[in-house]
Structure 1
Amino acid sequence: MQVALVGLGVMGKNLALNLIEKGLTLVAYDTNPDAGAELISQAQSLGIAERLHIVSDLGDMIKRLEAPRSILLLVPAGELVDKVCSDLVEAGVEKDDIIVDCGNSNYKDGIARKLKYQNKFEFATMGISGGAEGARHGPAMMASGSEGGWERIEPWFEKVAASYNGDSCFARVGQSASGHFVKMVHNGIEYALMQLIAEVYQLLRFGTKRSPEEVAAIFRSWSEGRLNSYLLAISAHILELKTEQDEALVDLIDNKVGAKGTGLWTAQNALELGIAVPSLVAAVQARHLTNTIDTHAAKEMTYQTKETDEINVDLDELKDAFYLASLLCYRQGLALIKGASRAHQWKVDLAKTLQTWRAGCIIRADYLDDIAEGVEFIDTLSNETKALRKVAGLAVSSGLAFPVLSATQNYIATLSTASNGHLVQAQRDYFGEHGIKTHQGETCHLTDLVDIDQKVR
């Protein structure tokens, strides 16, 4: 089996080695000749260089591949993807060739490209998670589309991807560009989980005055049970790291968080679809707030430092609260995927989606089985629900910021307790005559139910 790969950056280079090691013959191209030379050197050291061919231009790459061709793109999202696709058309790709965009492209771009290139080649999308380590040894792979070309390469991707209990973490999750949408939401969940862990660290570090090393020990103990996850494990490791001067590494890092855009896309698409994902949105905004000082509005948005209060939190309750909050972050993401699938008629399989997340990816966790149980399972977690209420209240009372923890508590409370929406809708009808709906399902106006002699001026 021959496959071509365009783009030998960190992800491309590591995926290339993974592909070759699994038995594929790879033809690789990058505009940077040093990237190809480095890949050859690594392949030689592993004794697999005979299955690798580095080419100097796309035309040579096309000639080396037997038709129908399978070409993977691992180039930065945006205009460069279109440029490479256009260059491949000029280089001689044919209608039955499949080109798979494996980068972090916006799913809307994927939909447009499928239409743009439909008579030139088969265009497909696939999200890949796991970072460089995952790409090298087995990533999570969220593919989409029904193109015939998938039949040629799907068996190989099942081998290249991570596996969990003997099942591959590669799947075609749905139609069209749903693979990139699923990967986008995966990243939105990732934002929320990272921020949630950071908030629990903050509560323990500054709310209860524990050291980074003590917080790491707590995270380690949680990881030994049902809370085991990749993100919790790396957080514990980070908090254990010290310099030669015995300083905690975490204390030397600037308090500004970067972002590549997929978290923002998640928030934007949730708003467009009218699906509430407050924990995921709060995580995006939390990152923005860390960079406030660099904005034009910095002077207006920088406030005087305030003292915070020490609190006493029960560690078992904190553990239960963190567990439920984590489950709810995933559930919000799955609700967004389900809503988008319905709106776009993608027929996304949520079971397959969760399967791709079980190993190899950044949001892998032992409790994904619990998430798969759905809302019915979450409704049985009465102790965890009470713990989340208590911990969220205690955390906020300290004066510290807990955007995701608070948003998650608000999410479950809004969906499971008395709502205030009836008053807001009454306000809308009062000043804008937007209408109200009664418990009997009747649509009317306030004035149909009561006399309003004179409205407030």
Structure 2
Amino acid sequence: MAADKADIGLIGLAVMGQNLVLNMTDHGFKVAVYNRSRQKTDEFIAAEPDNEKLFPYFDLESFVAGLSAPRKVMLMVKAGEVVDLFIDQLVPLLEEGDIIIDGGNSLYTDSNRRTAELKDKGIYFIGSGVSGGEEGARHGPSIMPGGNPLAWEAVKPIFQSIAAKADEQPCCDWVGDGGAGHYVKMVHNGIEYGDMQLIAESYHLMRYGMGLAADECQAVFAEWNQGVLDSYLIEITAEILKFKDEGGEPLVDKILDAAGQKGTGKWTGISSLELGMPVTLITESVYARCLSALKDERIKAEAHFGKPSAPPSLGEQEKSELLNAIHDALYASKIISYAQGYMLMTEAAKEFAWSLNYGAIALMWRGGCIIRSTFLGEIKAAYEKDPQLTNLLVADFFTSALKDADANWRKAVIFAIQQQIPTPALSSALAFFDGYKTANLPANMLQAQRDYFGAHTYERVDAPRGTYFHTDWIQSGGRISSTTYEV
């Protein structure tokens, strides 16, 4: 390799892009950088005057020429049209075997398309999820690459060097073909939505259901972070509850209760509907954010219907028991969230012919990413024990955990109902659990109704699966009059 050539180039010098670049140079890689705004590039280089591994460029032709072969260009730009615009500008400057990497939160279907289109042009494409936020990008993110497998060996040394480490293993490995990397990142973000909502509901139950002060809630979350709930999101929740505003009041109380979202949770919900997988907790978490956005309507509705119940007077023993119930409800629901996410990835792998390593995915999520937690080690162990595991819920560890949490889980949800505290995520997780372990659901009535008004047919419990029947419900006068359809 020529001494003046960079190992990799990165386009897009917002905070995530800058931090990834510095992470790469920290690990000894030479990095060419380019940004559409020259000012952004100038400011970045000026802030790193002693970094000899940074190579700034101000036009794409020089930028590409400054890369060693095979050229590796990583895009850290806004997902969607902007990615395609840069790809269109880069392709004429690249040669066969060069690599374009999209490190943004792109929709997996776009990565499927880009992988195929660039392959036809002799260019390798990688669509890679990068999780961990600004801090993770700087010091070690979770990286989930997918796309054209022929590109992996060229980028592997860089990605695995800069990734977070768990048990001395990089939180980065090849995920699969096409959009697999971005799909796994999408599911990661969906689980993140679920985890955040579950924690928010648990906080709501403590603060407004039980009447605990913010400092008391802080102490509870800090304690929980020392046990089975040990995770990044529980840790930062405890940290958030420490912060006071200018008047010494809890800062969280001054933050408007209207949550934003960037779309990856919604994408997870849409994909679950398309694939017919009941990812109910994540979807409810997305809808909870949508409901929170109706702030003005909610204020009027509270005035119309009346305020929720005041917190009950609780003795120390009752308080301790309720906190244990909320803890167990949060833990059990978290298990459901991950189980649903893995169900969705499993179905997507079938749909798109991806060969996903589910244990390796858990390892990739153990460090650097937003949903990192000790909990993920048990998922990895479950898939190592049984690579053909049909559902996390039937793995010994998780079955035992759910059975242990069952009574308290129900107690917490009942308490929420009594106190008029909305718990869409905790409640939907429990409903899913009850449905999943129920052999006979009322869908027989649904099928009868569908056949009655639309002649959609139904199957019978006393006939082989795949044998369909139709009843003339109106003309038969209640007598059995069925037609059999073999499919």
TM category (shorter chain) comes to over 0.9
8 Å contact from structure 1 (residues 127, 179) kept in 2: yes
Match among 399, 413, 416 for residue 379 of structure 1 = 399
Could you tell me which of 16, 19, 22 is aligned with 1:14? 19
1:95 alignment partner AA: E
How far, CA to CA, are the matches of 1:321 and 1:290 in structure 2? 22
Q: Residues 299, 253 of structure 1: CA spacing in aligned structure 2 closer, same or farther, 3 A cutoff?
A: closer
Question: Any residues of structure 2 matched to 1:56-75 within 5 Å, and which?
Answer: 56-75=58-77
The alpha carbon displacement at 1:429 in A equals 1.6
Equivalent residue in structure 1 for 2:149, among 119, 124, 147 = 147
In structure 2, which of residues 277, 283, 287 is the aligned counterpart of residue 285 of structure 1? 287
Q: Which SS does the other structure have where 2:69 is aligned?
A: coil
Separation in 2 of the partners of 1:308 and 1:149?
57
Do the aligned partners of residues 78 and 301 (structure 1) sit closer, same or farther apart at CA in structure 2, a change above 3 Å counting? farther
Which residue in the other structure is 1:419 paired with?
Answer: 441
- C-alpha distance in structure 1 between counterparts of 2:19 and 2:299, whole Å: 45
The aligned counterpart of 2:177 is 175
Contact 1:71 1:99 in 2 (8 A): yes
Between the aligned partners of 1:305 and 1:138, the Cα distance in structure 2 is 49
**Aligned partner of 1:126: which letter?**
S
Deviation of 1:33 after TM superposition, in Å, equals 1.9
Write the mapping of 1:222-261 to structure 2, written as runs, cut at 5 A: 222-261=224-263
Q: For 2:41 and 2:366, locate their aligned partners in 1 and report how far apart those are by CA, in whole Å.
A: 32
The answer for the alignment partner of 1:391 in structure 2 is 412
More deviation, 388-397/402-411: 388-397
The superposition leaves residues 59-82 of structure 1 with CA deviations (integer Å, 9 ceiling, x where unpaired) of 011111122201111000011001
Q: Distance in 2 between matches of 1:299 and 1:393?
A: 23
The yes-or-no answer on 1:435 pairing with 2:460 is no
Which whole-Å CA distance do the structure 2 matches of 1:370 and 1:170 have between them? 18
Q: Identity, % of aligned pairs?
A: 36
Q: Read off the aligned partner of 1:427 and give its amino acid letter.
A: Q
Rounded to whole Å, the distance in 2 between the matches of 1:299 and 1:361 is 34
CA distance 1:452–1:436, change in 2 (3 Å): farther
Q: Structure 1 stretch 315-324 or stretch 234-243: which is displaced more?
A: 315-324
Residue 401 of structure 1 pairs with residue 422 of structure 2: yes
For the Cα contact (< 8 Å) 1:126–1:144, is it kept in 2? yes
Question: Normalized against structure 1, the TM-score is what?
Answer: 0.93
Which of 192, 195, 216 in structure 2 is aligned with 1:193?
195
Q: Deviations for 1:43-67, whole angstroms, at most 9, x for unmatched residues?
A: 33xx4x1111100011011111122
Aligned-partner SS, 2:150 = coil
Matches within 5 A, 1:317-356: 317-356=325-364
> Unpaired runs of 5+ in structure 1?
none
The amino acid across from 1:18 in the alignment is N
Cα distance in 1 between the residues matched to 2:189 and 2:26: 28
1:19-58 per-position Cα deviation (integer Å, ceiling 9, x unaligned): 01101000000012232223223433xx4x1111100011
CA distance in 1, matches of 2:348, 2:160: 26
Distance 2:27 2:454 in 1: 64
The residue that corresponds to 1:23 in the other structure is 28
Structure 2: distance between partners of 1:250 and 1:326? 23
Q: Which amino acid aligns with 1:247?
A: E
Whether the aligned pair in 1 keeps the contact of 2:16 and 2:133 (CA below 8 Å) is yes
CA contact (8 A) 1:95 1:119 kept: no
Tell me if structure 2 keeps the 8 A contact 1:196–1:404: yes
**Structure 1 residue 453 displacement after superposition:** 4.1
Contact preservation (8 Å) 2:131, 2:143: yes
Residue deviations 1:334-364 (CA, integer Å, cap 9, x gap): 1111110110001111111111100000000
Shift of 1:198: 0.2
* Residues 333 and 301 of structure 1, relative CA distance in 2, 3 Å threshold: farther
Deviation at 1:302, TM superposition (A): 4.9
C-alpha separation in 1, matches of 2:444 and 2:27:
59
8 A Cα contact 1:17 1:43, kept in partner: no
Question: Aligned partner of 1:433: which letter?
Answer: A
* Cα contact 2:281–2:429 (8 A) shared by 1: yes
- Give the direction of change, closer, same or farther, for the CA distance of 1:159–1:357 in structure 2 (3 Å limit): same
CA contact (8 A) 2:11 2:33 kept: yes
2:107 corresponding residue in structure 1:
106
- Alpha-carbon displacement from aligned partner over 1:181-227 (angstroms, at most 9, x marks no partner): 11011111000100100000000000000011111110111111111
TM-score normalised over the length of structure 2: 0.88
**Which residue of 2 is the match for residue 275 of structure 1?**
277
Give, in angstroms, the shift of residue 299 of structure 1. Answer: 9.9
Structure 2 Cα separation of the partners of residues 252 and 334 of structure 1: 36
Q: Greater shift after overlay, 400-409 or 148-157?
A: 148-157
Partners of 1:422 and 1:278 lie apart in 2 by: 21
111-120 vs 123-132, greater mean Cα deviation: 111-120
Counterpart selection for 1:38 from 33, 38, 43: 43
- The answer (yes or no) to whether the contact 1:184–1:263 under 8 Å persists in 2 is yes
Give CA deviations for 1:58-110 in whole Å, capped at 9, x if unaligned: 101111112220111100001100110111123x1112100010000111111
Which moved further from structure 2: 403-412 or 420-429? 420-429
Moved over 6 A (4+): none
The question of whether the paired residues in 2 share the 8 Å contact of 1:229 and 1:366 is answered with yes
Deviations 1:109-151 (A, max 9, x none): 1111122222331111100000000000000000113432321
In structure 2, do the counterparts of structure 1 residues 270 and 356 end up closer, same or farther at CA, with 3 Å as the change threshold? same
RMSD: 2.1
Which residue identity lines up with residue 3 of structure 1 in the other structure? I
Aligned AA for 2:412?
Answer: V
SS of structure 1 residue aligned to 2:74: strand
- Aligned equivalent of 1:369: 377
Conserved 8 A contact 2:163-2:172: yes
Report the AA paired with residue 373 of structure 2: A
SS of the residue 1:128 aligns to: strand
The 3-state SS of whatever aligns with 1:43 is: coil
Q: Secondary structure at the match of 1:123?
A: strand
